[in-house]
Amino acid sequence: MRCSMHRCCGWVLALLLFALSQETTASSIERQSASVTTPSAAAMAEYRRKLEEYTAARRKYEAEADAYWSSVAEKRRLRQAKLRNHQEIVLADYVLTQPPIYSGPPKPVDPSAPIEEVPPKKYVPVVADFLRAAAQEFGLVPQQPRSEIEYKRAYAKIAFAAGLTKEQVVRIYAFESGGDGTYDVQAGLEQPKPGAQPISTALGYNQLLATNSVELMAEKGDHFIKTLSAKAAQLPDEPKATLQRKLAVLKRMISFCRTVPDSWSEHDKLANTAKGLAVHALNLDVDVGPLLQMQKLLDSVVFARAQGYGTVLSAAELEMMNLTGDGNGLDIVRMPAALRERVPTSNFFQPGGYARNPIAGRSGVVSKLLAGTNAVMDQESKLPGAKELASLFPK
């Protein structure tokens, strides 16, 4: 009897589910029908008129923008050639107008088109993903610091040994991580707000992207191995064995990072794989992370020296190299104050990078970009995290 009742209940449940599915399907069809209405001839005529206006305005703007950014690129090539020939850079070597801004009518909505759902945002990996990838792809569990000050102490020691100044290191830490950022802070997650989402893989004191991590391991991996091998030689047996096992994993990671040509675009492809995310997890390791985070700054200093610039870079100038790339940044650094007042920041960006960088657009000219950067550094350097880092440098 129990089985019979069970079968009966099963049929009833099935019928209920079928009815609900039919109702849901009907509701879905009704919503779709409601979202795809037949507009009037007058509405369609108005739409076509607006679309024609928009298309004409947009075409005009894009032609102006293409010409502008082509001019920026050409001027940049000419400046690079003059620098190679040790010729003076003058005001005429820059584009002196601001990028065109689209000011025409907005793109009209087609009244005959179905209402499109907003696609979900592209998922940006977070620290948990980096750690998971490291364990799964290379069998590595990064040795995270027992406290924030342990990581800072290692970072300050490495930066000082590399010849970076306290002012450079502390002010760039303040600018990049908000003055109180932790070693595992990720862009977009600086404040623990409900629903906060990362905006990129940028991580740590200097906000390295996953692509930066892959590139640094490909280019500087041998140096990291040498530095950590020397450290292992000074350790007691047990921690030495632990670090040596880590070194074996690092060598495999370096080999992976060198499987492509040494270019940003190729490294970016690797960075977006599981193994690339695993490499990025090295920033969380108290032995390797400070080396990675510091190396990005040191590379810019070395580049400037190699180009004959012997003056110590201010933190803001070093940040320009970090922000716009070493070549563009050094162009800004070498620029006389009078030119900085007149040269637009757009001269040092690609169109896409400029559009994604609100600071560059708001600043307008180089002098204001530097002043704005210094103002942020001044403010954020007063926070506890920056003060703690400063206290760890030798007197």
Q: What is the pLDDT along the chain (395 residues), one digit of tens a residue?
A: 334 333 333 333 333 333 334 444 444 434 444 445 688 988 899 999 999 999 999 999 999 999 999 999 999 999 999 988 889 999 999 999 999 999 999 999 999 888 777 778 889 999 999 999 999 999 999 999 999 999 999 999 999 999 999 999 999 999 999 899 999 999 988 877 777 888 999 999 999 999 999 999 999 999 999 999 999 999 999 999 999 999 999 999 999 999 999 999 999 999 999 999 999 999 999 999 999 999 999 999 999 999 989 899 999 999 999 888 899 999 999 999 999 999 999 999 989 888 888 788 888 999 999 999 999 999 999 999 999 999 999 87
Q: 129: which 2 tokens?
A: 């993903």
Fold of 127-391: Lysozyme (1.10.530)
- CA 213 to chain centroid, in Å, comes to 11
Burial of 161 (0-12, 13-18, 19+ CB in 10 A): exposed
Q: How far apart are the first and last CA of the chain?
A: 88
Question: How much is the pTM?
Answer: 0.82
Q: Which long-range contacts (CB under 8 A, 24 or more apart) does 362-371 make?
A: 364/98, 365/340, 365/341, 366/332, 366/335, 366/339, 366/340, 366/341, 367/337, 367/340, 367/341, 369/320, 369/345, 370/316, 370/317, 370/320, 370/332, 370/340
Would you state the pLDDT for residue 120? 81
Residue-level pLDDT at 36: 56
| Two tokens, residue 204 | 């740590």
**Quick one: tokens of 41?**
């001839």
Q: Residue 365: what are its φ and ψ, rounded to 5°?
A: -125, 165
Predicted pLDDT of residue 6: 36
Q: Domains of the chain: which residue ranges?
A: 42-93, 127-391
pLDDT at 20: 37
pLDDT for res 335: 92
Query: Any residues with CB less than 8 A from the CB of 229 and at least 6 apart, and which?
Result: 247
pLDDT value of position 375:
95
Number of neighbouring beta carbons within 10 Å of residue 342 = 13
In 3D space, the residue among 149, 187, 164, 179 whose CA is nearest the CA of residue 315 turns out to be 164
Query: Helix axis angle, 41-84 relative to 326-334, nearest 10°?
Result: 70
